Structure 1
Amino acid sequence: MNKNVKIPIIFLILLTFGSTLIFFGSRNDAVTVAKSIKSGVLTADEINVAFQNVGGKVLTRAVQESQQVKKGDVLMVLEDTDTRLAIERLKAVIAGQEASVRQEESAITIAENETNLSEVATWRNIEAVQASLDAAKSALDFANTEYQRHIQLRKAGGVSQSQLDNTRNTYIAAKMTTVQLQSQLSTLTVGASTEQLQQFSKTKDATGMTLQSIINARHTIKNRHNQLAQLRAQLSQSQAELEQLEVNYQRLTLVAPEDGKVLKIMYEDGELVPTGAPAVLLETNRKYVDIYVNETMVNDYQPGTTVTANVIALDKEVSGKIRFATAAPSFADLRMTRERGQADLTSYQVRIYVDDIPNLLTGMTIEVNDAKHH
């Protein structure tokens, strides 16, 4: 056969044979793989464990990298000298503030009792002054009568001038006593209403009378109550600061928030840890796998649905629960050449949290079988 004819025929035969294999065999293209196998690499949630609102020098590292820890296990401890001294100082301040509050409470109680006693005593004093005033007025009337009688007798020569002078002095003294008692009564009854004074003039009973001196004393006590409230507020503030310091003291000990494996420890013994800086990287036992499905399959993977998958390395099945199904980034979309007449398909990311089984490690390949999806 002519060489120029033989070579094209051979190429035509090979092309036909290859096309037949491609058409009837597995293409391993994106569409075929997405329809036949739903697989992904097992991943675990990682968390950065940090000292909350505290920092300081590392005193103890209680764990090492790759060590398995349980929730509550101590990971790292910071030096506590400064915080402990601050707590002791604040406790001393609080003790002094509590003593000031108790002292002011006692002083207010004493002042209130003394004011109540003074009010009653003043009422009785008013009554006594009123009685003395009534007696003084009677004495004044009598002295005035005697004085007028002695004036007439002196004119008639019935008494001497010295007797008249004595009578006049007695009258003047009685008059001065009346004025003094009247002034004293007016001073004691300052603050009383007109109705109260009229009632007192009839009954001679001062009980219940409003007195300005007592009003002033009670205003003073009210101001002392305000001072007491301020002292209590300062005490409450100090107690809150103490509580915060005690919380910070507990936070100097870093504990594992959940079960997992220590991946990395950021600080060595003696190093300074800044406030809020991550100190330990922890791989949790919450393991998941992400698979990608096209838009025609996503309705079969609703959140909360239970699936079973195969762990290839262990040749075991594991159960899992779908957490979410959401549109994947554009790079995961299937851009077809339409060799089979299909349009471009949008991919969806499905995250499945799997149950923990022995020897299950992150990085293992997990395959979700459509036939076992329910």
Structure 2
Amino acid sequence: MNLRKKSIVFCGIFVLLFLISGITLMYKGNDAIALAIEKKDGILTAEQVKLSFDSVSGRLIKEAIKEGQEVKKGDIIMQLDSTDTDLSIEKTKAQIAQLDAQINSQNGAINVEYAMTDTQEVQTFNQIDQQKAAIASAQATYKNKQIDYNRKLQLLEVEAIAQSDLDDAKMALDVASADLAQQQELLNQLLGGANDNANTQDINLPTINQQRQEIDNKLNDVEALIEQKKQLEVQLKELEVTKSRLTLYAPEDGKIIKILAKQGEMILANTPVVLLESNRRYYDIYISENQVANLAEGDTINGKSIANDLTVPGTIRLITQAPGFADLKQSREKGQADLSAFQIRIYTDDVEGLQTGMTIEVTDDEFTKR
């Protein structure tokens, strides 16, 4: 009976202490945020960056860092095998060089054809001028023969000459007429259907124009080759970008926390391979709505490191309402509405001796002096 009574007494005492503690907590508001508002301190936390190879995959052939190593922005972290990409780059460069040779060859041939066409045009103009001179000579001969024939025809009428003399004159006239027609035909052939102008250089020769049009069409073939070259140049740039992505660089200063991939492993694109702790560090504190009224994002604020009493200047980056007390405890304190609390995120400046994980405290003076 004594043992049973003692057990009942101990249980009663335990229940009584539990009730007293609960009531005390409820009236004093000793939940996590209430305590945080009262103490206003936070743990210094560094932002972490997961590094991965951007849109490329392959076999990891080089680890240039170790866990715990400090790195600077631009330092090489890892490299993937670039053999296939290098071969594709060399192949594309060879194709571009081949197209360059074809383009240069065709441009050279076209320039030669243009020059030959220009020369042929000049020669044709010269031939036309010569033919015009031949026609003028044939016309003069024909005119003389015509005069001689008419004169002998008159002499024959008065029986001053024999019929054979007239026949000779008629034959000479026919020969001169035929020669004139022949010279005119040769000129028509040189003109090729073009209209004869007084100034030979103004004549638009159809044959020369046709040759130039055919050469112009060859320029279209050259343009097609140039477009092919442009496409290959774009492919080359893409391959060079791909190759550059096969080397992973540190995006900022920081510390290697963990290496997630080992040399020799196949790495998938966009899969984290290294965890980097950046030098961007912050801590969170909680303050009341009365204190937040004088603060704004972008304001500077000073804290103290509890471990070594360092002054830690920082900048407020975020002010947001903290979760309500009843949301955390799932009950109303004292039957009243929740008190408003605000979470403040402060990014610190670089301070020598300050380590990630240290506790930073902000005194009430930082809020009352504003």
Seen in structure 2, the aligned counterparts of structure 1 residues 55 and 141 have a Cα distance that, compared at 3 Å, is same
The equivalent residue for 2:70 is 68
Q: Could you give the per-residue CA deviations for residues 252-307 of structure 1, whole angstroms, max 9, x where no partner exists? A: 22111111122232322211112333322211111111233343332333111111
2:220 aligned residue (220, 223, 226): 226
Gaps of 5+ in 1: 1-10
Displacement, 1:147? Answer: 6.2
TM-score (norm. length: structure 1): 0.77
Q: Is 2:162 aligned against 1:158?
A: yes
The equivalent residue for 2:6 is none
Task: Measure, in 2, the Cα distance between the counterparts of 1:332 and 1:261.
Answer: 40
Task: Measure, in 1, the Cα distance between the counterparts of 2:35 and 2:269.
Answer: 49
Name the aligned partner's letter for residue 299 of structure 2. T
The equivalent residue for 1:271 is 265
Q: SS of the residue aligned with 2:261?
A: coil
The equivalent residue for 1:109 is 111
Name the aligned partner's letter for residue 73 of structure 1. D
Gaps of 5+ in 2: 1-12
The equivalent residue for 1:248 is 242
Q: How does 1:267-346 map to 2 (within 5 A)?
A: 267-328=261-322, 337=332, 339=334, 343-346=337-340
2:59/2:266 contact within 8 Å kept: yes
Task: Measure, in 2, the Cα distance between the counterparts of 1:153 and 1:333.
Answer: 143
Seen in structure 2, the aligned counterparts of structure 1 residues 326 and 104 have a Cα distance that, compared at 3 Å, is farther
1:34/1:294 contact within 8 Å kept: no
Name the aligned partner's letter for residue 106 of structure 2. E
Displacement, 1:318? Answer: 1.1
Displacement, 1:328? Answer: 4.3
> When the two structures are aligned, how many residues end up with a matched partner?
347
The equivalent residue for 1:180 is 182
Q: Is 2:132 aligned against 1:130?
A: yes
Task: Measure, in 1, the Cα distance between the counterparts of 2:33 and 2:320.
Answer: 19
Task: Measure, in 1, the Cα distance between the counterparts of 2:109 and 2:340.
Answer: 81
Task: Measure, in 2, the Cα distance between the counterparts of 1:294 and 1:334.
Answer: 17
Moved more, 30-39 or 330-339: 330-339
Task: Measure, in 1, the Cα distance between the counterparts of 2:290 and 2:213.
Answer: 82
2:305/2:360 contact within 8 Å kept: yes
Displacement, 1:352? Answer: 0.9
1:312/1:365 contact within 8 Å kept: yes
Q: Could you give the per-residue CA deviations for residues 196-228 of structure 1, whole angstroms, max 9, x where no partner exists? A: x4x51xxxx312332223322332333333333
Q: SS of the residue aligned with 2:67?
A: coil
2:324/2:339 contact within 8 Å kept: no
Q: Is 2:98 aligned against 1:96?
A: yes
Displacement, 1:57? Answer: 0.7
Q: Could you give the per-residue CA deviations for residues 28-51 of structure 1, whole angstroms, max 9, x where no partner exists? A: 356753542222222222222222
1:87/1:242 contact within 8 Å kept: yes
Task: Measure, in 2, the Cα distance between the counterparts of 1:184 and 1:346.
Answer: 109
Moved more, 268-277 or 217-226: 217-226
2:303/2:312 contact within 8 Å kept: yes
Seen in structure 2, the aligned counterparts of structure 1 residues 230 and 349 have a Cα distance that, compared at 3 Å, is farther
Q: CA RMSD in A?
A: 3.6
TM-score (norm. length: structure 2): 0.78
Q: How does 1:8-19 map to 2 (within 5 A)?
A: none
Task: Measure, in 2, the Cα distance between the counterparts of 1:137 and 1:57.
Answer: 91
Q: Is 2:46 aligned against 1:44?
A: yes
Q: Is 2:204 aligned against 1:210?
A: yes
2:312/2:351 contact within 8 Å kept: yes
1:115/1:218 contact within 8 Å kept: yes
Name the aligned partner's letter for residue 65 of structure 1. E
